[in-house]
Structure 1
Amino acid sequence: MSFKIRPRRGLIVYLNSMKTVKSLRRYGHVQYSSRRMHYVVLYVDEENIANTIEKLRQLRNVRKVMQSHWPEIDPELTDLEVTGLYKKHDEDEKE
């Protein structure tokens, strides 16, 4: 028996009330839940992501479902100015 890592994606599920947090366990792994902000971070297998999002949006207590962009971020990103994410200012050069 070999161990195989399955790619997963994080979902941020905004709820109207926190009563249904336990029932979200059937859709994936509940990593974090915020009682004050009324959201849950849920990890789901990448192959079932579209189906799971549709099922979650049909629930009465769910306001909004958002996908995490973590797998799309380049881990080798070294120079932010070249990519256009950061623009150097005169204040940065005076140090």
Structure 2
Amino acid sequence: MFAERTGYIVWFSDSKAARGLDKYGTLHYMSRKMQYAVMYMNADVAEEAVRNLQRLPFVRKIERSYRNEIKTEYEKNVPDKTQFYGL
């Protein structure tokens, strides 16, 4: 149904040139102060897009986001204590 998406953090040196990063994927956030951008792209074309991004002169470093691999379903092993602190 939905394509597998992968997130990348792209560190750049020129914020004006970094506006063109949306050609390679969906640009989610761009910090001009810290000079990085968060972008998402389809997993099947991600390797080729990263290779093309690394060739750009203003890109310093590219890191893959591990958000897909983090467990987001939590178990409740501790009893709820809020009922003891009621009014």
Alignment of 1:77-92 (within 5 A): 77-78=74-75
For structure 1, the 5+ residue unaligned runs are: 80-95
TM-score by length of structure 1 reads 0.73
**Residues in 2 aligned to 1:76 and 1:40: alpha-carbon distance in whole angstroms:** 27
Matched residue SS, 1:76 = coil
The amino acid across from 1:5 in the alignment is F
Matched residue SS, 1:21 = helix
Paired residue for 2:40? 43
Residues 57-82 of structure 1: per-residue CA shift (max 9 Å, x gap): 11100000000001111223548xxx
**Residues in 1 aligned to 2:64 and 2:28: alpha-carbon distance in whole angstroms:** 14
Return structure 1 stretches of 4+ with deviation > 6 angstroms.
none
TM-score by length of structure 2 reads 0.79
For structure 2, the 5+ residue unaligned runs are: 77-87
Matched residue count:
76
Alignment of 1:10-25 (within 5 A): 10-25=7-22
Match for residue 29 of structure 1 among 16, 26, 43: 26
